[in-house]
Amino acid sequence: AHANDAQSRRMQALGQLAGGIALDFNNVLQAVEGATTLIDRQPANEASVRRLATLANDAAKRGAAITNRLLALGQRSDLRAERLDVTTMLGEVRETLTHSLGSGITVRIEVRPDLPPLLADREQLETALINLATNARDAMPKGGSLTLAAETEMVSMEGAGNRPAGMRPGRYLRLAVTDTGTGMDAATLARAGEPFFTTKPLGIGTGLGLPMARGFAEQSGGALQIDTKPGEGTTVTLWLPVAEAGAMPRPEATMPAPGKAR
């Protein structure tokens, strides 16, 4: 039932995605068609032809941006699970972040000392964390603090506690990215995670960070959770199952892909 829930959510997301792309593309085509029709009517009016050509050109560029987003989404690879030391991995992520976050943002790492090793796809996990941290940065234009926290939690009963629905009982590693930024209002929260939903300016937002992080978490057998309060900040948590001894997939084992952000 769980797999089917995740599957039907993915199918729904895919449907929304296809619908959104069709709409965006239709707008592009209409702009090109409109501009070229007008050029055809008044080919002698040079100023007008220039203006319309610029319009058509801009539209074509938007079209190219749409297909680029699609290509990025299509670059899905299978998950390559490897044994990770979470503390080391977070240290590496922090290293990457110091180069990309502004100076007004303090990065803290809070890791429980007794964390078990994690079996996960390193590249996809790091990409997800960096995307979440980038969102955190974008939510703190005046600076603030960004915390990467890791701890384990036993999920014993479905539907209990503050966690995503439909998680299987078992032991999970919670990787939480917390910011002291703008938070999300109800309307944004409702749509956050929808492919291509973004509140950021064109060229900056892709609307793919959260859906890809969620795809990765679900593909890994876990889930993604968003807790947010307008004016106070946001925590996005990746729940990743901790493989119990004896039930561990071999390190070279691969699973079908959720997607990746490059």
Where do contacts with ligand ADP occur on this chain (CB under 6 A)? 135-136, 139, 179, 181-184, 188, 192, 197-200, 205-211, 234
Cα angle 82, 117, 211; round to 5: 60
Distance in Å, CB of 69 to ligand ADP, minimum? 10
Q: What spatial distance separates the first Cα and last Cα of the chain, rounded to whole Å? A: 31
Q: Which residue is nearest to ligand ADP (CB)?
A: 209
Considering the complex, state which of residue 182 and residue 237 has its C-beta at the smaller distance from ligand ADP: 182
Q: Which residues pair with 83 in a beta bridge?
A: 119
Considering the complex, state which of residue 1 and residue 71 has its C-beta at the smaller distance from ligand ADP: 71
Distance in Å, CB of 94 to ligand ADP, minimum? 17
Considering the complex, state which of residue 20 and residue 34 has its C-beta at the smaller distance from ligand ADP: 20
Considering the complex, state which of residue 36 and residue 188 has its C-beta at the smaller distance from ligand ADP: 188
Distance in Å, CB of 91 to ligand ADP, minimum? 22
Distance in Å, CB of 135 to ligand ADP, minimum? 3
Q: Both tokens of residue 249? A: 């997939």
Considering the complex, state which of residue 27 and residue 198 has its C-beta at the smaller distance from ligand ADP: 198
Distance in Å, CB of 122 to ligand ADP, minimum? 20
Buried-exposed string 123-135: b where 16+ CB fall within 10 A, e elsewhere: ebbbbbbbbbbbb
Of residues 222, 243, 253, the one with CA closest to residue 80: 253
Considering the complex, state which of residue 38 and residue 226 has its C-beta at the smaller distance from ligand ADP: 226
Crossing angle of helices 2-41 and 46-74, rounded to 10°:
160
Distance in Å, CB of 24 to ligand ADP, minimum? 15
Per DSSP, the residues of 216-258 read HHHHTT-EEEEEEETTTEEEEEEEEEPPPTTSPPPTT-EE---
Report the relative pairing of strands 105-111 and 144-155 from DSSP bridges: parallel
